[in-house]
Amino acid sequence: MADLFRTQDTDAIHRTNVEGTRNLIAATKAQAPQARPIMASTNLVYGSGLTRPAREDDPTAADSPYPASKILAETDLKASSLNWSILRFGFGFVYGDKDGHLESAPALMANWKWHPAQTLDLLHQRDIATAVEPALTGALDGHTVNVVDESPTSIYEIAQIVGAPYEPSAEPLDDPWKGRADGALLRTLGFTATVPTVYHAQRDGRL
């Protein structure tokens, strides 16, 4: 369903992610009430200050306009009478073959002043299809699931992989679980990542 992320235009984020989702819900109810709407969300909805990787039944909290819009959109979809499923993708950070997203990560995180040891859940674009497949069959009806790869990767390691600079640090992490989610539930429902880690993507020429 509707999604807009890489922009500072908060009005556009709200129009696309919230109003767009509402429009799609209304259209689905009117035209195809037996369809299975699948929402692309983000584990940024869990906010900061986690004590462990976030689980699907943890409270949501918005630190910025993008996750705030996703929380509203999720709420609307859950309140509908449709056979919905919600996929919360790792950090909202999906990368793919030669798309430049992973290469952009170090500069983005440096602007946010994130610690080099901060680890992120990443997801290769091939595994969007892998996660959507059980949703299409109904296996995820009424479920909200985290979709992550098999090994979180530090920002410093990502920078090394893509050949970008990132300042190292021995200072402690203030928020060590930020951007992390527990993917165990979806694995119990049959999900296995086809690109398990960013290192597999690098080995197979998928960066």
**Domain annotation covers residue 4:** no
**Domain annotation covers residue 115:** yes
Per the structure, the complete domain to which residue 76 belongs is given by 10-203
Which of 178, 168, 162, 147 lies closest to 102, judged by CA?
Answer: 162
For tokens 């584990």, name the residue.
Answer: 43
Give the orientation angle of helix 101-111 with respect to helix 155-162, to 10 degrees. 130
- For the chain, what is the domain count? 1
Which pLDDT score, from 0 to 100, does residue 4 have? Answer: 58
* CA atoms within 13 Å, Cβ hemisphere of 188: 7
b/e string for 35-49 if b means 16 or more Cβ within 10 A?
ebbbbbbbbbbbbee
**Domain annotation covers residue 180:** yes
**Domain annotation covers residue 161:** yes
Question: pLDDT tens-digit profile of 47-98?
Answer: 889 999 999 999 999 888 889 999 999 999 999 999 999 999 976 578 988 8
Q: What are phi and psi of 89, to 5 degrees?
A: -80, 150
Which pLDDT score, from 0 to 100, does residue 19 have? Answer: 94
**Domain annotation covers residue 5:** no
Which pLDDT score, from 0 to 100, does residue 131 have? Answer: 92
Which pLDDT score, from 0 to 100, does residue 38 have? Answer: 95
Which pLDDT score, from 0 to 100, does residue 32 have? Answer: 96
Distance of CA 37 to the CA centre of its chain: 17
* CA atoms within 13 Å, Cβ hemisphere of 62: 12
Distance CA 99, CA 181 (A): 24
Which pLDDT score, from 0 to 100, does residue 207 have? Answer: 85
Distance CA 106, CA 97 (A): 18
Distance CA 60, CA 165 (A): 33
Residues of the chain with pLDDT under 50: none
**Domain annotation covers residue 171:** yes
**Domain annotation covers residue 2:** no
